[in-house]
Chains A and B, each alone.
Chain A
Amino acid sequence: MGFFTRKKSAESAKERLQLVLVHDRTDLTPGQLEALKDELLTAISRYIEIDPDSVQIGLERDGRTQRLVADIPLRGAARHRAG
């Protein structure tokens, strides 16, 4: 790896730890989180039309508490704004 292209290792350590700690604390593997997302979207889709490509669901840290944050744009709303 070239000297100028190499990412400083402290940054990698912090990014990797942020992910690992969220999964350790919630006892949720990345695979389970994906399954949770899929089931959540399936359930929501039964009631409202959503845009699956722009959905963002993830675990976020705030001090020592974790929250599941979901941003789920609705398709109907987008069309309304466009029209």
Chain B
Amino acid sequence: MLRLEKLVKTYKTGDQALKAVDLVVPEGQVLALIGPSGAGKSTLIRCINRLVEPTSGKVFLGDINLTGLSTGALRRERRRMGMIFQEYALIERLTVMENVLSGRLGYVGFWRSFLRRFPQKDVDEAFRLLDRVGLAHMADKRADELSGGQRQRVGICRALIQDPALLLVDEPTASLDPKTSRQIMRLICELCNERGLAAIINIHDVALAQMFVQRVIGLRFGVVEFDGLPDALTPDVLTTIYGEEDWEATIEKVDDDSEVAQ
């Protein structure tokens, strides 16, 4: 469903963030992208929806090559890719509802969005999504009144209301506490399951990634060093991705049942 072919990104400074990355993501697959800081994880995700312009290579979403699109056509394709951000990237001074509805901007005209007169079915869907993540009662609160975990859930709603085929998730748990991190990861993976969405999740926390995803990609200096099942992440593999370190504690199986009860 998503196919990257020889994707290269060289920044103006000369840093080569991505060196000919090839990657195929089938429909409905949730994969984690791990790797040290500066490995090109964020760049990879942003090259897919062209928030960062790739230097060369191709990105196919379905049959459409995103790298060749004009501005208008790119905008229409962006609607099919929901994005979730590290620091939530909610519009702090707008209400929760406005933030969720902003995911529909690609579908509604300027005046409707300017006057906040979104189609009834968008509003209904926004309430349903907020209810799904347990925030329906917060709809009229300002986004900056929410806690970190709540904000990220609004971020998830904003991405989902786009009705995307693919989720691009950039460090969703980096600023959250361990428990909230798990809840958010679980929520993202559950929602992907429910809706048959594919997702690429950048994540620093290897154990958390192993717990929830079906496939792991290890990136180091812009090159794919590992591609396989979460269970195949051995200390040796982590050493090739991150460098020498004692990995036993990191990949220890975490008992997930204790928390489900809460």
A binds B: no
